[in-house]
Chain A
């Protein structure tokens, strides 16, 4: 395949995150909200300016996902691993995680937009929440950035 361009739909999105053994896994999700960076707005207005004006400060990034609870064994990235299997092993940990949200454009992802980071010893994501709702058999999880390297949009898979 070659990379497509244009619009797409959610069924071609893949969510990947490191498991407790630092291997990237694909897990089932049914929503991913607010994928991207948000820059703080720093007011640099002088009294003599006619208009309030700003410059961007540090970016921040929080990723929340939800999906079905799945206890399947892990598999190579690209094939779904159990969400519970992966997330229950990384929540609360201090080891930076790689994270890769791949957005396939009307096909399985192939060099199309992706957002994430390949973890280093000091930078990556941490999973700070993993919650299961027994009534719906769904989970929710939260990922925050650790360290000083920002995740970014690109077209090359994280590792």
Chain B
């Protein structure tokens, strides 16, 4: 779907955990380029050029919830760390393939409990892009949700129809962001998440280097995989999974594509 939406269809995934059931607000989702107004003697007006981008998901406000392993307090009360964050925004429904997603790796700067109202609330601030992030080469946080958070038990053979906005192939690379929240199978629940691309939404190939590599999904997994900045990415994209000892993997996958 496209069009307007409301907050209740936003989800928050952090470090392989779905924080949506513990969160009440998120944002502002910042994407701001540094500017410095200057003018040459002969210019008719002061003017600017954009410098470094500053990108941050801002604050997450929620309930202080100490549910073992997965609650907001259990996951994030450490107060600091390089966090893999995905914030998909569903269009008048829960996020689905093709919906916009704000994603990246950001430094957590605090974790605070506020007492005084009826509920005990907790909030945390996610600062700018992490110096420990997988890539410092991209300056864009908004991409496309290639796979909504749900379980898959087989490889993807469907045509996604998820096209670049400019409806053409690009040679500007991009990066994928993934969150694996659960899995089933035997042994270490081994599986690989990846991205396919296509020129025509019919004939698909694995997008070179756009893969998590084989992961032990018996525990949550998350991360960013960046392509070379000149990598060719064809017009259409779709999610892909290769199951080894895993029989089911619950994951969300986004791809951020410079235009």
Q: Name A's B-contacting residues (CB within 8 A).
A: 5-10, 12-13, 29-41, 43-46, 49-56, 59, 101, 103, 105, 112-113, 115, 153
Q: Which B residues are CB-close (under 8 A) to A153?
A: 73, 77-79, 111
- Render B91-133 as a binary contact track against A, CB cut-off 8 A, 1 for contact: 0000000000000000111111111111110000101111111
What is the interface of chain A mostly: helix, strand, loop, or mixed?
Answer: strand
**Whole-angstrom distance between the alpha carbons of A31 and B111 in the complex?**
17
**Whole-angstrom distance between the alpha carbons of A115 and B67 in the complex?**
17
Contacting residue for B34 out of A30, A35, A37, A52, CB 8 A: A52
Question: Contact between A5 and B67 (Cβ–Cβ < 8 Å)?
Answer: yes
Contact flag A53-B129 (CB < 8 Å), given A6-B67, A153-B77: yes
Contacting residue for A6 out of B65, B79, B128, CB 8 A: B65
In the complex, the chain A residue whose C-beta lies closest to that of B55 is A51
The number of chain B residues with a CB under 8 A from chain A is 43
Question: Contact between B120 and A103 (Cβ–Cβ < 8 Å)?
Answer: yes
Q: Which A residues are CB-close (under 8 A) to B107?
A: 39, 41, 54-56
Looking at B134-142, B217-225, B243-251, the stretch in contact with chain A turns out to be B134-142
Q: Which A residues are CB-close (under 8 A) to B125?
A: 38
- B residues 28-87 in Cβ contact with A at 8 Å: 34, 52-55, 63-68, 71, 73, 77-80
Question: Contact between B128 and A113 (Cβ–Cβ < 8 Å)?
Answer: no
**Whole-angstrom distance between the alpha carbons of A49 and B66 in the complex?**
38
Contacting residue for A54 out of B111, B127, B139, CB 8 A: B127
Q: Which A residues are CB-close (under 8 A) to B53?
A: 50-52
Tell me the smallest distance from the CB of A43 to a CB of chain B, in Å. 8
Contact flag A39-B80 (CB < 8 Å), given A10-B117, A52-B128: yes
